[in-house]
Chains A and B, each alone.
Chain A
Amino acid sequence: MKKNISKSIKFFLLTLIAAAITDLAKSQEQNPLNMNEHIRALGMTPPVPVSLEGFSGEVVEVLKFDLYVQGFSFVAPADAQYQISGNNSGNVTGSVSDKFAKKIILSRSYTGGSLRTEAHAFANEIVQAITGKPGISQLRGSTAKIAFKAQASGSGNGEIYVSDFDGHNAQAVTTDNSIVAAPSWVPGRLALCYNSYSFHDDPDIFYHDLTTGQRKLIARYGGSNISPSVSPDGAKFAFISSIGGRPNIYVANIDGTGLRQLTTGVEDSSPCWSPDGQWICFATKISERRCLAKVSASGGEVQRISTAGVLNPTEPDWSPDGKWIAFTSQMGDFNICVVPADGSATPIVLIAGEDPSWAPNSRTLIFAKRAGSYRYTLSVLDVFTKQVKDVGRISGSDSEPAWAK
């Protein structure tokens, strides 16, 4: 009895805290200018406690990975806000009950897939049921994919790989045995653009349809053609070319036609797109200072994006909701940072790593982590709770990850 009372008090307090957090979140939504408070939530938000019962083996592994990198933590059923239970004898069956609301909010059975794909599908629906927002485990009905560069240790040559976002089911999509780099998904399609040195050992950019296996050279100009980034509507790509003499930002139609130079900066690198397709963000140097900048995708003035407080920003990636830009800072070591895209608050330094790529939920990132000399491995990070999980290693060095959109 006494135990029950103290439990009730505990839940009452938790409810109050939850309500307070919700209120805070609401007030921030109503006041979008207050990014300073908003950005403090990055790396500081407590995870949502859930319990997991009845599953085993791979299914537990998948559920834990998927939920952890979307801001959930695992506790005993008595301490959980949401209790997830079920079994995987044959197929995955499970349900989620909300202890505050005292009701079952999700009940599902899966069939027709491997245990892994069924577990990913369940994780996706758990996140949707609890947060009201789509999970990141699935994209268009299949397990969400990443693309990355895989390189043998001690050799510059490698291949572009595609795998599930947790590193499973990895598959080489090139057989170039050359330097390959910077895969970028064509949004909404099973297709990539990337840099490969397979033709005459030159850095060219290819468009690769993964469903047919067909690929096409879309940028082969004098000098180096590198760092492609496909526009959100899939119609264009931005890249670095030295056709004009120095590496600068160019855009062209996705079939390679309509080349246009956008910048003449002295140290331009690594372009990415804003989700509305209006801007291209990149790393450069203005007035002797390294910075991030943006330029209209149709050309115009280059505008600096403030990253005050951190040095040498490179490799920007704009979040799908438009709010954030994740990037790498170099101050001795390399760190993953996030800054409001409007520059209204100073960046938050999150964790050691490089080359972040946003998941569709605008809160989870995949990034590369140094694992020795000229070697990387991949990790997945939830920017709000700072919870991080390593992705299984495929080759000597896995880097430059891109989350399929």
Chain B
Amino acid sequence: MKIMKMTKLIYPLMLAFVFALVATGCAHKPGQLTRLRGPTPLAPPEPPPGNTLPGGDNGIPAASQESFEGMIADRAALAANAIHFSYDSAAVKKSEHANLEAVAQALSADRNLKLLIEGNCDERGTEEYNRSLGERRAGAAREALAKMGIDPMRIKTKSFGKDKPVGPGHDEASRAQNRRDDFVLLHPQAGMGGS
């Protein structure tokens, strides 16, 4: 009985001794520099399952509506720079880059200016599908402008779906006109807008 108790005590003691040896003596020679790794960088939070975003990002968060309140809309300034999209697509076409450059330039010229992008769709597609599609079109231009160095917090997006067609017809010419982003320059109230 006594021996049993002894061994029960001895084993943990022996284990502790071995660990102590390993920890203090054997692993490193004295004076050797141990390079500690920095904290493991934490992975960004996993998006909800079912995420199919290319590149895994979720776009650039929207700027608050309040940050645009009181600004004065100038629809004429960038009216010529509206960009157009392929059928059922929110991808910004290469052919539209010159227009985006012009919009970026206007914004770069004055840091007080902001921008509203309105996404529109043609008559094909159901109403609420198109309302989402219009928002994707506006968001795509916002992301493209951000890549050109424009602070996306200066840019507000909205979708009109297919509620604001400029071409009323059923033909492809009308439809092509309606698949567009309009750019509206926003002036601060105290600036150029008044008198």
Contact = CB atoms under 8 A, between A and B. Distances in A.
A26 interface: no
B129 A264 contact: no
Interface stretch (A87-95, A130-138, A241-249): A241-249
A374 B62 contact: no
Interface in A16-66: none
B53 A156 contact: no
Nearest to A288: B52
Interface stretch (A4-12, A163-171, A295-303, A387-395): A295-303
A224 B158 contact: yes
Give the one of A201, A240, A244, A269 with max B CB within 10 A.
A269
A269 B90 CA distance: 14
**Residue of B53, B60, B127, B131 with highest tally of chain A CB at under 10 A:** B127
Given A154-B168, A223-B62, A262-B48, A373 B158 contact: no
A153 to B, nearest CB: 9
Contact of A263 (B50, B134, B136): B50
Interface stretch (B25-33, B63-71, B93-101): B63-71
B126 A223 contact: no
Interface in A228-275: 240, 242-248, 261-270
Contacts of B64: 221-222
Contact of A220 (B65, B129, B162, B168): B65
Interface residues of A, number: 59
A221 B53 CA distance: 22
A156 B164 contact: yes
B59 interface: yes
Contact of A355 (B51, B127, B160): B127
A181 interface: yes
A227 B131 contact: yes
Interface string A148-177: 010100101000000000000000000000
B47 A223 contact: no
A200 B69 contact: yes
A186 B14 CA distance: 72
A246 B128 CA distance: 15
Nearest to A303: B50
A118 interface: no
B195 interface: no
B128 A373 contact: no
Contact of B62 (A179, A221, A265, A283): A221
Contacts of B54: 266
A328 B58 contact: no
A330 interface: yes
B126 A355 contact: yes
Nearest to B156: A222
Contact of A224 (B52, B157, B163, B169): B157
A181 B165 contact: no
Given A154-B168, A314-B128, A265 B158 contact: no
Contact of A269 (B58, B69, B129): B129
A203 interface: yes
A245 B131 contact: no
Q: In which size bucket is the chain B interface?
A: 35 or more
A268 B132 contact: yes
A319 interface: no
B159 interface: yes
A243 B62 contact: yes
Contacts of B156: 222-223
A202 interface: yes
Contact of A266 (B53, B160, B164): B53
Contacts of B123: 373-374
A248 B51 CA distance: 11
Nearest to B140: A246
Contacts of A246: 53, 58-59, 135-136, 139
Contact of B136 (A156, A220, A247, A354): A247
A280 interface: no
Given A244-B62, A314-B129, A203 B159 contact: yes
B85 to A, nearest CB: 14
A378 B131 CA distance: 20
A374 B58 contact: no
B158 A245 contact: no
A74 interface: no
A334 interface: yes
A296 B128 CA distance: 21
Nearest to A334: B126
Nearest to A261: B48
A202 B158 contact: yes
15 contacts: A179-B164, A201-B158, A203-B131, A222-B64, A224-B159, A243-B61, A244-B62, A261-B48, A264-B53, A265-B52, A268-B132, A269-B131, A293-B50, A295-B50, A355-B128
Interface of B: 47-54, 58-65, 69, 123-129, 131-136, 138-139, 143, 156-165, 168-170
Given A247-B132, A302-B50, A314-B129, 15 more contacts: A151-B163, A179-B160, A181-B127, A223-B156, A224-B159, A227-B128, A240-B132, A243-B62, A245-B143, A246-B58, A247-B159, A264-B48, A265-B52, A293-B50, A303-B50
